[in-house]
């Protein structure tokens, strides 16, 4: 139907249509769910579709598109197929165990196949943290003493006024968050209360929260004013030391990045360094595993395969059971078993119909 876009017109049309027999509004994600139930999409492809709809940056788009195109589903199906072939070898060992020339070679072949799959699963699991971060966003915390220029830097990085800037120390007491597209990476910048000892219970709570946020952040920008002594959080790759207000008199110390929120000096270099720290060196293809559900399923498969190769291979029945558990974990990953609760939660995130 092609109609006027006014909300009142649309609402009235939907009401009239729903009064007709056999017509109702579609549930959220209902059409995608039908495609899933008809076998047109596996669960990982459905997750990729919703991630693509929700994507805000280029890295999120690329990762979601790769998953929607079936990268994880194909990999999981291949792992499952290899393990089923190994199970067939073990079944032959169990069925023909009286034949002395069968026992050794079949078990060794099954173990070799399981070992290959185990290595691939470990590699995929190794990229989970990165995949989850790209999907959910990296957290970058601005930390430092009062009047170090945190709020001014936040405004400069966000290219808009989002935080109140004042010469009065302790202006920022609660965390202020800003979403940022950093070279295609999704980033949440968090401005925090100035780090100092305070008898004010409200400010002290703000400082406590600031330290807690810094401990959990993917990257901390540790600030000091160019005209003050360093008193900052220490760290390695997870901390970038900044000397702010370089438009005033003073020199940055070795290892510090000199920036000025007023003139913009050093801001492009800081953004480049932040992107390098978060993305890592060199081009890396999007991760296969992006959700906690993926991590749990692959972790269960890894546990089962590690048990299989831990010295029980002289008992074909036990080895076959471990492989069966690994296969079942991969089937959960694909959405073939034990997924009703997951489906209800997932499709609720779609728009009506979709």
Q: Catalogue all structural domains in the chain, each as residue range(s) with its CATH number.
A: 67-127+287-347 (1.20.120.430), 137-279 (3.40.50.300)
What is the model's pLDDT at position 305? 95
* Dihedral sign (CA 212, 215, 219, 221): positive
Give the Cα separation of 134 and 241 in Å (integer): 24
- Neighbouring residues of 337: CB distance < 8 A, sequence distance ≥ 6: 328, 331
Q: What share of the chain is helix, strand, coil (3-state, %, to 5)?
A: 50, 10, 40
**Is the separation of the CB atoms in 129 and 200 below 8 Å?**
no
Range list of H helices, 96-144: 103-126, 128-136
Most confident of 49-63, 98-112, 304-318: 49-63
Q: Which long-range contacts (CB under 8 A, 24 or more apart) does 48-57 make?
A: 48/72, 50/346, 50/349, 50/350, 51/135, 51/290, 53/350, 53/351, 53/354, 56/179, 56/181, 56/186, 57/181, 57/184, 57/185, 57/186
What is the model's pLDDT at position 103? 54
The secondary structure of residue 255, as a DSSP letter, is T
Give the Cα separation of 345 and 221 in Å (integer): 36
Coil, strand or helix at 188: strand
**Is the separation of the CB atoms in 336 and 80 below 8 Å?**
no
Asked whether the predicted pLDDT for residue 297 surpasses 60, the reply is yes
pLDDT bracket for residue 123 (50, 70, 90): very high
Give the Cα separation of 176 and 229 in Å (integer): 26
Smallest CA-to-CA distance from 128 within 286, 320, 307, 8 is with 286
Q: Please state which of the ranges 114-118, 224-228, 280-284 shows the lowest mean pLDDT.
A: 280-284
pLDDT bracket for residue 336 (50, 70, 90): confident
Q: Which residue has tokens 């048990």?
A: 307
Coil, strand or helix at 258: strand
Please give the average per-residue pLDDT across 112-132, as a whole number.
94
**Is the separation of the CB atoms in 80 and 334 below 8 Å?**
yes
Range list of H helices, 100-216: 103-126, 128-136, 150-158, 201-216
pLDDT tens-digit profile of 300-329? 999 999 998 886 656 778 888 999 999 999
Decide: pTM greater than 0.85: no
Asked whether the predicted pLDDT for residue 205 surpasses 50, the reply is yes
Beta strands in 226-327 (DSSP E): 239-244, 257-258
Structure tokens that stand for 11 in this block: 């609402």
Coil, strand or helix at 345: helix
Q: What are phi and psi of 143, to 5 degrees?
A: -135, 150
What is the C-alpha R_g of the chain? 27
Coil, strand or helix at 36: helix
pLDDT tens-digit profile of 128-183? 988 999 999 999 999 888 888 888 888 888 888 776 665 555 555 567 889 999 98
Please give the average per-residue pLDDT across 184-204, as a whole number.
80
Give the Cα separation of 61 and 200 in Å (integer): 45
Give the Cα separation of 103 and 3 in Å (integer): 72
Q: Are strands 257-258 and 239-244 parallel, antiparallel or unpaired?
A: parallel
What is the model's pLDDT at position 165? 65
The secondary structure of residue 26, as a DSSP letter, is P
pLDDT bracket for residue 64 (50, 70, 90): very high
Estimate to the nearest angstrom the gap between the alpha carbon of 282 and the chain centroid: 19
């Amino acid at each position: 139907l092609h109609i006027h876009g006014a909300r009142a017109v649309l609402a009235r049309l939907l009401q009239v249509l729903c009064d007709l027999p056999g017509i109702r509004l579609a549930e959220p994600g209902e059409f995608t769910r039908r495609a899933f139930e008809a076998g047109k999409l596996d669960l990982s492809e459905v997750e990729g579709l919703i991630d693509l709809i929700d994507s805000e940056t280029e890295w999120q788009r690329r990762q979601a598109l790769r998953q929607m195109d079936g990268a994880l589903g194909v990999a999981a199906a291949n792992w499952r197929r290899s393990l089923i072939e190994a199970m067939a070898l073990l079944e032959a060992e169990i069925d023909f165990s009286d034949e002395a020339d069968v026992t050794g070679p079949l078990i060794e072949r099954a173990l070799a196949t399981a070992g290959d799959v185990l290595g691939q699963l470990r590699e995929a699991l190794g990229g989970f943290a990165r995949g989850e971060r790209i999907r959910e966003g990296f957290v970058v915390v601005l930390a430092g003493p009062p009047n170090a220029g945190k709020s001014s830097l936040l405004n400069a990085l966000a290219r808009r006024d989002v935080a109140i800037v004042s010469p009065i120390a302790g202006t920022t007491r609660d965390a202020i968050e800003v979403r940022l597209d950093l070279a295609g990476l999704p980033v949440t910048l968090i401005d925090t209360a100035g780090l100092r000892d305070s008898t004010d219970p409200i400010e002290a709570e703000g400082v406590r929260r600031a330290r807690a946020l810094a401990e959990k952040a993917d990257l901390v920008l540790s600030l000091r004013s160019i005209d003050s002594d360093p008193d900052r959080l220490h760290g390695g790759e997870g901390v970038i030391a900044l000397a702010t207000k370089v438009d005033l008199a003073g020199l940055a110390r070795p290892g510090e990045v000199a920036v000025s929120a007023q003139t913009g000096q050093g801001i492009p270099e800081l953004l480049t360094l932040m992107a390098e720290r978060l993305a890592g060196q060199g081009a890396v293809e999007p991760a296969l595993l992006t959700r906690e559900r993926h991590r749990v399923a692959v972790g269960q498969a890894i546990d089962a395969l590690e048990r299989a190769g831990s010295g029980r291979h002289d008992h074909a029945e036990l080895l076959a059971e471990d492989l069966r558990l690994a296969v079942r974990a991969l089937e959960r990953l694909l959405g073939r078993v034990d997924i009703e609760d997951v489906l209800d939660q997932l499709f609720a995130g779609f728009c009506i119909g979709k």
